[in-house]
Amino acid sequence: MNAVLNHQTKFIDLGLIAYQQAWDYQTNLFNSILEIKSANRTAAEGEQQLTDNYLLFCEHPHVYTLGKSGNEENLLIKKEELPAIGATYFHINRGGDITYHGPGQLVGYPILDLENFFTDIHQYMRLLEEAVIQTLQEFEIKAGRIKGLTGVWLDIDDPKKARKICAMGVKTSRWVTLHGFALNVNTDLSYFDKMIPCGINDKAVTSMQKELGRLVDMTEVKNLMKEKLATLFKMNLLA
């Protein structure tokens, strides 16, 4: 573990960015942290470098992504038909099954060295969920967790009404995190009809816009999420 913990976390808003470009960007940050950790293993005492932490926010053009253990059959549209709906497809290295990203959805990629915070993947996932739950609470949307299912849900006590509002999928290596969460704010939910979200075929998907019956200010959602994440993780966010 790092001799000196670094809670400073650089916040970067990438705006609307192609999925491949964002994937490359976060992967470069991820690898740079791993390189520092590798060098620290052989560095003399007192010469070890602090590892960096990053919090990336963005939106993506329409894209479907499949996790490493996902089932391609959960994409219900043929890949050659994707250009007709302006969408792309990627098979990636996070956990979880298939998910969708698109405009109006807040995607968050925390690239953290958890050794700066705590070494517990379960705690990491629950805190990401908690930040979303607390953010939704600010809009008077009551959300929570469903046992055995990752992400954030509404009407968690009614299996027939339960619907997902935020999906999550992460990868970690030597306690460094990659990928993250996708919160449906003003998302076009019709794109979810062309997949079985996260491989779960008996639960609906929703958005803040649908629940509130109005467009939601994305900047307000971003600011609240930043605040909740910083508080829960005890981050010192740097612009």
Amino acid at 39: A
Write out the two tokens for 111: 């690239």
Say how far apart CA 239 and CA 237 lie, in whole Å.
7
Say how far apart CA 169 and CA 180 lie, in whole Å.
6
Write out the two tokens for 60: 């993506």
**Please, what is the Cα angle at 45 between 39 and 47, to 5 degrees?**
55
Q: Residues in the chain, how many? A: 239
Say how far apart CA 151 and CA 77 lie, in whole Å.
24
Catalytic: 166?
no
Closest-CA residue to 144 (of 132, 153, 136, 135) = 153
Say how far apart CA 233 and CA 124 lie, in whole Å.
9
The catalytic position among 36, 143, 198, 229 is 198
Write out the two tokens for 58: 């963005």
Are the C-beta atoms of 225 and 183 separated by less than 8 Å? yes
**SS3 call for 18:** coil
The catalytic site residues sit at: 198
